[in-house]
Structure 1
Amino acid sequence: MPPRSDSAQRGPHPALKGLVESYTGTSLTGCTPGIHLGTPSLTLPLIMSLRDHPVVQLQSRTGADRVAYQGLVAGLQLAPVLIDHASSAMTLTVELTPRGLTELFGARPSDWFGVSVHAADALGRSVEELRQRVEFLDGWPARFAAVDAYLLALRRDRRSAPTLADRAWRTIRATGGGLTVEQLAGQLGTSRRTLQSCLVSQLGVGPKALSRVARFGRARELVHARLQHRAPEPTLAAIAARVGYADEAHLIRDWRLFTGCTPIRWRDVDAFAFSD
């Protein structure tokens, strides 16, 4: 039987704008087991595993230090996360913004920089109750609606004005990491030193690294589309120029840092990224 994939994605309820980027539901069956690369992004994923398919994270490709999660939340990352992918998997992922993590759950993103934690331990028992409720609903629209309702109820309890870190994150996302640190600080009406200190304190990472992640994210989309269709274009040099790298070599440098491989080898190393 050939592999089967059922996936869906949509944005959150309008009242959650700025707190949640998207919901993604994925169901895979009949796949060849292997390792999936969770690559760095600007969001913090809350991942709920469904139908007895836990998310298994590895510390290395040797399979040492395996940790299984029914639900996990990951902080901002500057290195790939290795996921031991079974032949079948079913997950619902909520992509939280840093402000969303704080306003909805009262948590500080910097506390989880570079790590993954059990969602129930980090965010409260209600997250596990949500996972169990969502697990037995039929269809992604119903599951997404249940997550909307849960998060909207949380938001009624916590509302806050955007901080400097929130505004910096939003600007980096909007510009795709295209501003220098000096330009970003100037646009936000602060100094480079204050911006650096604020972001490291609240998010765990400075503006330069966040901008690199933003550029990588844009490049990742373009490289994925090229490899998915096995097309020769656009070239890596063209992609590098389009998203703001100085040249192809700088793109490949960041790609190795964030994935552990080159762009062209990505499909060979992580077939699950191309399972749709």
Structure 2
Amino acid sequence: MQATWHDRRGVAVWDVARPARPGRVPGVDMAGFRDRGASPAGHRVVPHPGVTLVVEFGAGPLLVEHSAGREHRGSLVAGPGFGAGAVRVRGERFEAVQVRLSPPAARAILGASPAESGGAVLALDDLWGREAERVRERLAGAPSWEERFALVEAVLARRGEAAEPVDPEVARAWERILAARGLVRVEDLAAEVGWSRRRLWSRFRSQIGLPPKRAARLVRFDRAAHRLAAGEEAARVAAEGGYSDQSHLHRDVAEFTGATPAAVAGEPFLAVDGIAWSGR
């Protein structure tokens, strides 16, 4: 599937492609992006509960800018939350395959724990070495998005088969957090998997990339952000989303994005989800 995403002014911003068939690698979702060059200032990143892998190819660079003044160029990996805070992405007619990995799958596929990034943005070359460049070259030479998706999927499948998976207890705790939409207590998670709270905290953080309580907050925030983007009132989102009040929601949104709920509701990063990520 291919479509063009337009902003609220009707300007074409991105061409977006989706694989024609479901992927065969668990915990992996892919989309292809071609930047139209219509938004040179870029877009705010809205954190989501997954690990982001972006393999860039084509003529223009993909740029990630942090509020502290740091900048990343090119293919990247970002841990859960995508470096929460005031982060922006922009490009100059770049093309890229973006992969969203569930944190349990990411540890095996990337060859490193998401905890090693601390949620920050890392160069893919630092994790994969020369293989990252070989994948980029093959993507640039592929004649269609379907062939690009098949190429990336084959690489991810091979890497996942050769690595050690996360502990079953950690995977179970992660799935429980997702199922509960973040509304779950760490004590209850530990009891469900038969571990102490301290052991769950340690193993979960080392294998998923953030502590279980932070993971639950991120999942809860992700749900709230998409409800705001769908036009629901902040007061209702807060009341039904597990927040003590609207101010509590406001603080969480500010911490994760550096913006207000009203600003986040209009972000293209969320609006494109219905096209790019069919599992939404």
Q: TM-score range by the shorter chain?
A: 0.7 to 0.9
Aligned-CA RMSD value: 2.6
Q: Within 2, Cα distance between the matches of 1:9 and 1:104? A: 21
Which of the numbers 252, 255, 272 marks the counterpart of 1:254? 252
Q: Determine the structure 1 residue equivalent to 2:171.
A: 166
On the 8 A contact 1:35/1:82 being kept in 2, the answer is: no
1:8 aligns with one of 17, 20, 26:
17
User: In 1, are the aligned partners of 2:46 and 2:270 still within 8 Å (CA)?
Assistant: no
Picking from 55, 63, 69, the partner of 1:56 is 63
CA contact (8 A) 1:164 1:198 kept: no
1:207 CA displacement? 1.2
What is the CA distance between 1:165 and its match in structure 2? 2.5
Instruction: Tell me what 1:221 maps to.
Output: 226
Alignment partner of 1:75 is 2:85 = no
Which of 128, 145, 151 in structure 2 is aligned with 1:146?
151
2:192 to 174, 187, 199: 187
The 1-side partners of 2:176 and 2:59 are apart by: 39
Identify the match of residue 44 of structure 2 among 14, 18, 37.
Answer: 37
Contact 1:222 1:239 in 2 (8 A): yes
Cα distance change on mapping 1:222 and 1:199 into 2, 3 Å: same
8 Å contact kept, 1:31–1:86: no
Match of 1:235 in 2: 233
Deviations 1:70-96 (A, max 9, x none): x11112236236234145332211112
1:54 and 1:239 mapped to 2: Cα distance? 37
Give the aligned length: 262
Q: 1:84 to 1:5 in 2, by over 3 A?
A: closer
Selected match of 1:17 from 13, 18, 26: 26
Kindly provide the amino acid, as one letter, of the partner of residue 73 in structure 1.
Answer: V
SS of structure 2 residue aligned to 1:250: helix
Contact residue 53 and residue 90 of structure 1 kept, 8 A: yes
The Cα offsets for residues 49-85 of structure 1, whole Å up to 9 and x where unpaired, read as 2212222122327xx333312x111122362362341
Q: Structure 2, unaligned stretches of length 5 or more?
A: 1-9, 276-280
The aligned amino acid for 2:260 is T
- Partner SS state of residue 34, structure 1: coil
Supply the AA of the counterpart residue of 1:201.
Answer: S
Q: Distance in 1 between matches of 2:185 and 2:90?
A: 38
Deviation at 1:12, TM superposition (A): 5.5
Q: Is this contact kept in 1: 2:35–2:95, CA < 8 A?
A: yes
- Asked if the contact 2:113/2:208 (under 8 Å) is kept, the reply is yes
Change (3 A) 1:246 1:49: same
Distance 1:4 1:116, change over 3 A: closer
TM-superposition CA deviations, 1:16-39 (whole Å, max 9, x none) = 213x2x102122214131132222
CA distance in 1, matches of 2:70, 2:162: 38
TM-score, with length taken from structure 1: 0.83
Report the secondary structure of 1:129's partner residue.
Answer: helix
Q: Give the SS at the match of 2:107.
A: helix
Secondary structure at the residue paired with 2:14?
strand
SS at the partner of 1:244? coil
Distance 1:5 1:115, change over 3 A: closer
Offset, 1:2: 4.2
Query: Which shows bigger deviation, 105-114 or 212-221?
Result: 105-114
Structure 2 counterpart of 1:229: none
Q: How does 1:91-130 map to 2 (within 5 A)?
A: 91-130=96-135
Contact 1:37 1:82 in 2 (8 A): yes
> Residue 272 of structure 1: CA displacement?
5.8
1:176–1:215 contact (8 Å) kept in structure 2: yes
